[in-house]
Chains A and B, each alone.
Chain A
Amino acid sequence: MITHSVEYLARGLVDRQGRLVEAGEPLASLQLACGGNLGGPLAIPELRAIAVKAGRLGLRLSRPFAALAAEDRIGGWVDAIPVQDGDGGCELGIASWHAEPIAMSDEDGQLARLRRELNRALPEFCARLDPRQAVLTVEASAPDLAELAADMIAGIGRPWTDFATVTGSMHDQPLHWRLLDGVVCEVAGSARRWTAWLEPLGLPEPGSTGFVLTLVSDQAAPVPPDDDAGVSGMPSLGEELAPVLRQPLGRVIAHAEAIRAKLAGPLPDIYAGYAGDMVDAGEHLLALIEDIADLEGVEASDFEVAFERIDLGEAARQAAAILGPRAQERDIVLVPPPQGEGQWARGEFRRVLQILINLIGNAIAYSPEESQVWIRLDREGRRATVTVADQGRGLSDAERSRVFDKFERLGRGGDGGSGLGLYISARLARAMEGELSVESAPGQGARFTLELAALD
């Protein structure tokens, strides 16, 4: 037979007259808190009843008890063992002990109920938590809480305090709910100040079946941005998935590359070919993800350009250097502006570089082998320009009008492009208060020109 061996937290001894003659902590303190003293009558009512009964029946009892101390509600389990000599005394063994702050007064309760009603009636954010304050479900109506809601949904099962910054708190979270009820906190994605209210569920221990968390702000919700892209509020592929996908995709590509190169030993060529397909497909996927991440960045309402004084010549030379190897593969010669030639403009260097890499990359991809791609600088009045010109087949009028559209690939398939590059470049140009344009006619190549405000 399996028995549960009990190690007592505290022991006490009650004599025949019901006096607590010996007691360890925390029993002794509770006796004091209940108005008794050591050597005096056992003053903890439920313990006293159990001790008396054990003595009267002459039987070993094992029961739960509850008591109110000055500030705490005490609950626990006690074994009451009648003393062998049978004169009515008994030994108490405290097997477990829980303390929790006392429930509030009736007036406080009224206020709290009113507050709960209000919170329930006007919730901008409401979440159901389990007894450990971990998130179970989330409901948010305020647009600036969408990010918080998405984070919480992605992190269901984690304490809610993982997702909010509780002002002025340095304790390990989550704290006891009474300490968190009514705290001011900040959440990612919202500039407003929030007050968190926790409504405990369950009896007799409040919170024993969980909590309802509501966030209330005394500041009005921001007007939602006029965002036709509709990407806000939804988990974003670019920002959220791209970092997650990059690493495994990188590993797929690297391993497929190793197979293609037969690094691990001889392999039939056909398998090496398959591995090559995997590399290509992987790289395509990766490029697509990067493009989509870029696209979301550009389309986000909070997209901002860090304006600086930049040299378009330097940007053109760097872009050409980066793409030199790819051009060489196709025997294409890149002709950047010569060293020393420059054109100052107002923009953000890395964005300009990104645009030029896109333009030159396209030129390399769509030019015939053994052709040339020129990158030229110019200035017309207050506008500084950089132009990428190729000797490709050129674009018809109809194609020219569509070339900057989203997902436009002008009928070209199988080349690994996402159709987003030019669209993103045009958006970036506009964000820098510039313009991206194209001149072309069939058979005469294409000239893409980025135009920015000139600086002297």
Chain B
Amino acid sequence: MTGPRAQTPADAADHPLRAALARGDRAHARSAPALRHLLAAPDQSLIEEAVVAQVRGMLANLASQLVEARLRSRPVDAATQDAMLARLLLEDDLRAHCQALALEWRLARKLESGLAIDPVLSPLLQAWVAEADAATGSLAMAALAAQARFAQAQRRMQLPLAELPAELFHAVLAAAREVIPDTDADAVAQADARLRGDYEEGASRLALLARLVREAGAQTPRALSVEDAGVALWLSALAARSGESRDRTACAAADPHLGRLLLTLRAAGAMPAEAERQALRIQPDADLPRGLADVGTREAAQWLVDVQP
């Protein structure tokens, strides 16, 4: 004989087991199209398993950095880390940013194996490093070092906090305050202040690349040639010249539909034929949408803005 039974509702339809059953079935039903999509997705998919894993890895790495920074003296427990990760997963912009980085890295790896384009040191970057102009040379060196660190971090599925754009950096610190127990307010405040004080957006890879393509490469068409510029500089130049965000540009390059990439290239000032050539460099067996030759650079830029939600 078991303990006293809970009062079951008179109407069987309200039975908690039936509610649980329904919830489970709904979740299962929802998973079917997702699974089908994942299984059927070709290599270029934006949510290929490797990309999903990479994004999760970066977010987990960010979570543990946050937990460690705030709980310096105390032991770091797995439960707090999981809670931190769960919280970070809710940050839409952060997720999108990590996805863009993962897609960028996957593209860099793909072009390294396919076209022998070094993911760290491209011919254009090399030329800029060797530049007689001291300012450009040192900027290029700093960008090169940052790109080397990025490659290393991506291989380890990591993303240093300091590499986040300021808005995201701010957002994850705010998220950390919510999640991590505030037992020692002073220490936490100090940790926060230290993280903020050490943060320098200008030293991040993305800022260095953006500055480099604006200052050294404002004129050169080489920056829009992925085989010359390498994926990282290419994306930065494309974003800077088209006015699109770099994250969005990285996703466009990975999108098998290629329409956004072609229009971004056009908006960045690439000639239609050159834009198509670049798109085929990225996805050699793609079936390119037609009609780019009819689209002016200004029109392309306008269309990109129009479709944004």
Name B196's contact: one of A53, A59, A79, A204 (CB within 8 Å): A59
Contacts of B242 in A (CB 8 A): 203
Q: How many residues of B contact A (CB 8 A)?
A: 41
> In the complex the two chains form, what is the Cα distance from A95 to B207 in whole Å?
12
Q: With A1-B145, A2-B142, A4-B138 in contact, is A204–B243 under 8 Å at CB?
A: yes
Q: A131 contacts which of B144, B210, B211, B220 (Cβ < 8 Å)?
A: B220
Give residues 263-309 of B contacting A (CB, 8 Å). 267-271, 297-298, 301
Interface size class of A (residues with CB under 8 A): 20 to 34
Taking a contact as CB atoms closer than 8 A, the residue among A59, A96, A202 that contacts B221 in the complex is A202
Per-position binary interface string of chain B over residues 158-182, scored 1 when its CB falls under 8 Å from any chain A CB and 0 otherwise: 0000000011011000000000000
Complex contact A95–B211 (CB within 8 A): yes
User: Which residues of chain A in 57-81 are interfacial with respect to chain B, using CB atoms and an 8 Å cutoff?
Assistant: 57-64, 75, 77, 79
Residue from the list B138, B167, B240, B301 in contact with A64, Cβ < 8 A: B240
Asked, given contacts A6-B202, A57-B166, A64-B210, whether A208 binds B138 with beta carbons under 8 Å apart, the answer is no
Residue in B202, B210, B269 whose beta carbon sits within 8 Å of that of A201 in the complex? B269
Supposing A3-B142, A59-B169 touch, asked if A79 and B214 sit within 8 A by C-beta, the answer is no
A131 to chain B, nearest CB (A): 4
* Chain B CB within 8 A of A291 CB: no
In whole angstroms, what is the CA distance A63 to B196 when docked?
17
Distance in Å: Cβ of A169 to nearest Cβ of chain B: 22
Chain A residue contacts of B240, Cβ below 8 A: 64
Contact with B along A293-312 (1 / 0, CB 8 A): 00000000000000000000
Query: Which listed residue, B201, B219, B269, touches A61 by the CB 8 Å rule?
Result: B201
Q: How far is the CA of A207 from the CA of B241 in the complex (A)?
A: 12
A89 → B minimal CB distance (Å)? 16
> Are A96 and B145 neighbours in the complex by a CB distance under 8 Å?
no
Report the bound CA distance from A394 to B97 in whole Å.
95
B184-225 interface code vs A (CB 8 A; 1 in, 0 out): 000000000000100111111001101100110011110010
Contacts A3-B142, A62-B207, A203-B241 given; indicate if A209 touches B201 (C-beta within 8 A): no
On chain B, the residues within 8 Å of A131 by CB distance are 219-221
Q: Looking at the complex, which one of A3, A132, A203, A207 makes contact with B297 (CB distance below 8 Å)?
A: A203
A62 B219 Cβ-Cβ under 8 A? no
Evaluate contact between B203 and A4: CB separation under 8 angstroms: yes
Chain A residues 29 to 69 lying within 8 A of chain B, measured CB to CB, are 53-54, 57-64
Q: Answer whether residue A337 sits at the interface, using C-beta atoms and an 8 A cutoff.
A: no
Task: Contact check, B271 vs A201: say whether CB atoms are below 8 A apart.
Answer: yes
Say whether A4 contacts B169, CB under 8 Å: no
B267: A residues at CB distance < 8 A:
203
- Give A87-108 as 1s and 0s: 1 = Cβ < 8 Å from B's Cβ atoms: 0000000011010000000000
Q: Which residues of A contact B270 (CB under 8 A)?
A: 209
Contact present for A208 and B241 (CB under 8 Å): yes
Residues of A within 8 A of B47 (CB): none
Q: Which residues of A contact B269 (CB under 8 A)?
A: 201-204, 208-209
Report which A residues bind B (CB closer than 8 A): 1-6, 53-54, 57-64, 75, 77, 79, 95-96, 98, 130-132, 201-205, 207-210
Task: State how many angstroms separate the Cβ of A413 from the closest Cβ of chain B.
Answer: 54
Q: Is the CB of B167 within 8 A of A60?
A: no
Selected from A57, A58, A77, the residue in CB contact (under 8 A) with B167 is: A57
Given A4-B202, A57-B169, A77-B214, 5 extra CB contacts under 8 A: A4-B139, A59-B166, A60-B202, A77-B215, A208-B269
- Assuming the contacts A4-B139, A75-B214, A201-B269, asked whether A63 and B201 have C-beta atoms less than 8 A apart, the reply is yes
Chain B residue with minimal CB distance to A93? B202
Contact A98 B297 (CB under 8 A): no
Q: How far is the CB of A404 from chain B (nearest CB, A)?
A: 54
Expressed in whole angstroms, the minimum distance between the Cβ of A202 and any Cβ of chain B is 3
Q: Tell me, rounded to whole Å, the shortest Cβ–Cβ distance linking A5 to chain B.
A: 7
Given A62-B201, A64-B240, A203-B241, A209-B214 contact (CB < 8 Å): no
Those of B75-126 within 8 Å (CB) of chain A: none
Interface centre among A53, A203, A207 (most CB of B within 10 A): A203
| B170 x A57 contact (CB < 8 A) | yes
Residue of A nearest to B142 (CB): A4
Q: Is B141 an interface residue (CB 8 A)?
A: yes
- Specify the chain A residue showing the minimal Cβ separation from B195: A59
Residues 132-151 of B, flagged 1 when their CB comes within 8 A of A and 0 if not, give 00000011011111000000
Using A1-B145, A59-B166, A204-B241 as known contacts, say yes or no to A96 and B214 having CB atoms under 8 A apart: yes
Return A423 CB to nearest CB of chain B, in Å: 50
- Complex Cα gap A59–B165 (Å): 10
Inter-chain CA distance A204–B141, complex, in Å, is: 26
B207, B271, B301: most-surrounded residue (chain A CB, <10 A) = B207
- Contact residues in B for A60 (Cβ distance below 8 Å): 166, 199-202
B224 touches A209 (CB 8 A): yes
B138 touches A5 (CB 8 A): yes
Report A-chain residues with C-beta under 8 Å of the C-beta of B138: 4-5
- Complex CA distance for A20 and B240, rounded to whole angstroms: 27
Collect the chain A residues with CB atoms within 8 Å of residue B218's CB.
98, 205, 208
Contact A96 B224 (CB under 8 A): no
Most central of A53, A131, A202 by chain B CB within 10 Å: A202
Of chain B, the residue at the smallest CB distance from A76 is B214
Chain B residues whose C-beta falls within 8 Å of the C-beta of A5 in the assembled complex: 138
Nearest Cβ distance between residue B158 and chain A, in whole angstroms? Answer: 16
Interfacial chain A residues near B224, Cβ < 8 Å: 209
Q: In the complex the two chains form, is B221's CB within 8 Å of A209's CB?
A: yes
> B221 touching A53 by the CB < 8 A rule?
no
Residues from chain A with Cβ under 8 Å of B208 in the complex? 4
A203, B200: Cβ atoms under 8 Å?
no
Cβ contacts under 8 Å, B142 to chain A: 2-4
Given contact pairs A2-B141, A5-B138, A203 touches B301 in the complex (Cβ within 8 A): yes
**Shortest distance from the beta carbon of A69 to any chain B beta carbon, whole Å:** 18
Once the chains are docked, how many angstroms separate the CA of A212 from the CA of B267?
18
Please tell me if the beta carbons of A59 and B297 are within 8 angstroms of each other in the complex: no
Smallest CB separation, B183 vs chain A (Å): 24
B219 — which chain A residues lie within 8 A by C-beta?
A: 131-132, 205, 207-208
Complex-state Cα separation, A209 to B225, whole angstroms? 11
Question: Is there an interface contact between B167 and A62, defined as CB atoms closer than 8 Å?
Answer: no
Q: Please give, as numbers and ranges, the residues of chain A lying within 8 Å of B215 by CB-CB distance.
A: 77, 96
In the complex, residue of chain B having the shortest beta-carbon distance to the beta carbon of A206: B269
Question: Separation in Å of the A410 CB from the closest CB of chain B?
Answer: 57
Give the nearest-CB partner of B268 in chain A: A203
Q: Give min CB distance, A367 to chain B, whole Å.
A: 66
Closest chain-A Cβ to B223's Cβ sits at a distance in Å of: 9
- How many Å lie between the Cα of A60 and that of B198 in the bound state? 9
* Least CB separation from B208: chain A residue: A4
Residues of B close to A75: CB separation below 8 A:
214
Of A59, A79, A203, the contact of B199 (CB 8 Å cutoff): A59
Q: List 16 A-B contacts (CB under 8 A).
A: A1-B145, A2-B145, A61-B201, A64-B211, A64-B240, A75-B214, A77-B215, A201-B271, A202-B221, A202-B269, A203-B268, A203-B301, A204-B241, A208-B219, A208-B220, A209-B270
